[in-house]
Structure 1
Amino acid sequence: MSSDESYIQQILQSNQYKEVNKTTRDILEAIRMYKGLKPISDRFVFNNGTQKTLLSLTGTIPIRYKGSSYNIPVVIWLLDTHPINAPMVFVNPTPDMRIKVSRYVDHNGKVYLPYLHEWTIANSDLLGLIQVLICTFSEQPPVYAVPPGIPQPQPAMPSPK
């Protein structure tokens, strides 16, 4: 058993993932193919404020855009029901990048794709997801560069009613 495999299984078991063996295989296939992604255990905060320790694939995926190669920073969060339920994918811009909002990426960096919406345990996996991300982002990159030192825009605060 590789060190990656034992680390992944330990994280999945300690966080009560339902399908430890299938999830481990899915992750190992993805990180063998895409060396820019690493498995990381961290706290995820859901929209309702609840928190859960989840495993993510964090790092970069390669794309080609207008003849040049770029690395797009992403975080692919795996729910404890993986691979039954689709992961949550976020673009994770570096300080010198900004999110480019599109039909596939919202202002928080959350990614929306038909592949995620139509996810099934029989026909979907992380390799397929990453390939769809690469194809989608190669057509419409989700981030753009800004000169260093430009402050991140702060989200607008809701106005009191």
Structure 2
Amino acid sequence: MADMKSVETILEGHPDAGRDHLIPILQEVQAAEGYLSKASITRVGLALDLPASKIFGVATFYNMFRFQPRGKYHVMVCRGTACHVKGSRRVLDMVEKTLKIAPGETSRDGLFSLEVVACMGACGLAPVVNINGQFHAKVTPMKLQRILEECRSEEFSHV
């Protein structure tokens, strides 16, 4: 659930905000909460006298905004040209099937979230996957399957 206290604090920092402040406010809310919740979008709409549907429409236009919290393990699959040529589509298909989520979603258990990125700038290591800032090079579906299993077993070993 969104921390509405942080949203109120952010809005207090923009006392005379109008439509032109929408993007910066949404960026601050996401930085504070990790994503844009329905409640925070509604509250920002009240403050700016904008319907929530308009705010959601603006936010969905930009791929920097998320509408679900990230998982504990944030999986980013590169789909740049080099990664595509080297098989990142198969890697992405495996992740979607294994985790039962699509890009932009978080698994029901909150453990994994999935993001597709245009390029990570590591073309010589293609295909590349980044999990919580750690790069994995020359990833195959089998190799990534093992990495995801390691993440999951690490999680259960701490229970």
Please indicate the TM-score interval, normalised by the length of the shorter structure. Answer: under 0.3
Superposition TM-score, scaled by structure 1 size: 0.24
From the two aligned structures, give the one with the greater strand fraction. 1
From the two aligned structures, give the one with the greater helix fraction. 2
Superposition TM-score, scaled by structure 2 size: 0.25
